[in-house]
Structure 1
Amino acid sequence: MLEVRDLHVSYGGVQAVGGVSLTVREGDITALLGANGAGKSSTLKAIVGAVKPQSGKVFFEGRDITGTQPDKLVTMGIAMIPEGARVFARQSVAQNLRLGAYTVRDEAIIKQRIDSVYAMFPRLLERREQLAGTMSGGERQMLAIGRALMSGPRLLLIDEPSLGLSPLLVEQVFDALQALNKQQGLSVLLVEQNMNQALEVAAGAYVMQTGRIALQGTAEQLAASDEVRRVYLGM
């Protein structure tokens, strides 16, 4: 579904990503792991056109999307949830969800998707009139996921969903991603520092170190590998 070939990204002459290649198969959750500063977020930003890669290619369903603007990717079936659960703070939960459906013209589909989000995250239904900026970090992350789902994506890219959340809320967020994958067939590229949590839900994973893919394999293989911990911890 998603293929990244030999991607390079630099900022002011400093290389952040040096030749990353990865694949997300349709219907899979694929994890991109690594310590802080490994180049994970830069890779994600280059995939969605938020930064311009120096070189390399990105393909979605066989189509070259390298450098395509993020808003155009939404209409193709790609949604991204950036790090930090960014929501429209001065808008209510319900308004945030509707803003996520800006490409949808059918009111019946919008209502159906809102109902689906509320069924997945009952807390959002309880707080549907509350301003998003007054919610807890976990609630904002739920809202960010729900808003991304309003466009009806086939591929979801999510950056550090566990960042700053309590263990209980992390569990809830990952349970939701797993349910979306199993029940709706949603493909996911999950960028995470939380290796153990990510490998519990992923089918396969890549481990980044200093801007490159150091290891890759199935989740089971990587979870059992001492080499993963060595690379991950930079030892």
Structure 2
Amino acid sequence: MLSIEDLEVAYGGVRAVGGVSLEVGRGEVVALLGANGAGKSSTLRAAVGSVRARAGRVRFDGEDITGTPPHRLVSRGLAMIPEGARVFARQSVEANLRLGAFTVHDQAEVQRRLEQVYGMFGRLAERRAQLAGTLSGGERQMLAIGRALLSGPRLLLIDEPSLGLSPKLVEEVFEALAGLNREQGLSVLLVEQNTAMALDLAARGYVLQSGQIVLHGSAEELRNDDEVRRAYLGL
């Protein structure tokens, strides 16, 4: 579904990503792991065209999308949730959600997706008229996920969904992602510092170090790899 080939990203003269190749199959959850500064976020941003790739190719459903602006990818079924649960603080929860459906012209379908998100995240339903800027960190993360779902993605790229959340809210967010994958076949490329949670959700994973893939394999293989256990699982 998604194929990244020999991707390179640089900021000025500093190389952030150097020759990364990875794939996400249809209906798969794939984790992209690594320490801070390893190039994980830059890989996602380049995949959706929000930063320019210096070299390499990105293909989605077999089509070359390298450098295509993010808003043009949404209608094709590719959406990204950047790190930090960014929301429009001065707009209501529901207004934020509806912005995710900017490419959908069938209002009945928009309403169906809206009710689906409210069913998934009951807190958002309770706060639909509340300003997004007054939500807790966990609620903002739910809102960011919900807004992406309003676009009807087939592949979701999500960057650090657990950042700053309590353990209980982290569990809720990961349960929601697992349900979307299981029940709707949503494909996910997940960047996550909580390696244990990421490998519980994902079928496969890649480990980035200094902008390059140093390990890849099934979630079970990575979970049992001594290097991964020492560096990322604290075992």
TM-score tier after normalising by the smaller chain length: over 0.9
Correspondence for 2:123: 123
Correspondence for 2:213: 213
Q: Within 1, Cα distance between the matches of 2:220 and 2:232?
A: 16
Note the C-alpha offset of 1:127: 0.4
Correspondence for 1:90: 90
Structure 1 letter corresponding to 2:140: R
User: What secondary structure is seen at the aligned counterpart in 2 of 1:228?
Assistant: helix
Note the C-alpha offset of 1:228: 1.6
The aligned runs of 1:110-149 (5 Å cut-off) are 110-149=110-149
Correspondence for 2:30: 30
**Residue segments in structure 1 that go unaligned for 5+ positions in a row:** none
User: What secondary structure is seen at the aligned counterpart in 1 of 2:188?
Assistant: strand
Deviations 1:193-219 (A, max 9, x none): 110010000000001111000100000
Note the C-alpha offset of 1:231: 5.3
Note the C-alpha offset of 1:230: 4.5
Note the C-alpha offset of 1:232: 4.5
Q: Within 1, Cα distance between the matches of 2:153 and 2:34?
A: 26
Structure 2 letter corresponding to 1:87: V
Mapped contact 1:214–1:231 kept (Cα < 8 A):
no
Note the C-alpha offset of 1:229: 3.2
Structure 2 letter corresponding to 1:26: R
After TM superposition, the runs of 4+ consecutive aligned structure 1 residues lying more than 4 A away are: 230-233
User: What secondary structure is seen at the aligned counterpart in 2 of 1:49?
Assistant: coil
User: What secondary structure is seen at the aligned counterpart in 2 of 1:18?
Assistant: strand
User: What secondary structure is seen at the aligned counterpart in 1 of 2:49?
Assistant: coil
Quote the sequence identity (%): 69
Q: Within 1, Cα distance between the matches of 2:203 and 2:19?
A: 23
Structure 1 letter corresponding to 2:187: S
Note the C-alpha offset of 1:165: 0.5
Work out whether 1:45 is the aligned partner of 2:45: yes
Work out whether 1:158 is the aligned partner of 2:163: no
Correspondence for 1:197: 197
Q: Within 1, Cα distance between the matches of 2:3 and 2:114?
A: 31
User: What secondary structure is seen at the aligned counterpart in 2 of 1:20?
Assistant: strand
Q: Which moved more, 1:20-29 or 1:219-228?
A: 219-228
TM-score, normalization by structure 2: 0.98
Deviations 1:26-59 (A, max 9, x none): 0010000011111000000000001111100000
Note the C-alpha offset of 1:166: 0.7
Note the C-alpha offset of 1:227: 1.9
User: What secondary structure is seen at the aligned counterpart in 2 of 1:207?
Assistant: strand
Structure 2 letter corresponding to 1:8: E
Q: Within 2, Cα distance between the matches of 1:227 and 1:13?
A: 30
Correspondence for 2:80: 80
User: What secondary structure is seen at the aligned counterpart in 2 of 1:76?
Assistant: coil
Mapped contact 1:209–1:231 kept (Cα < 8 A):
no
Mapped contact 1:207–1:232 kept (Cα < 8 A):
no
Correspondence for 1:64: 64
User: What secondary structure is seen at the aligned counterpart in 1 of 2:75?
Assistant: helix
Q: Within 1, Cα distance between the matches of 2:93 and 2:76?
A: 25
User: What secondary structure is seen at the aligned counterpart in 2 of 1:15?
Assistant: strand
TM-score, normalization by structure 1: 0.98
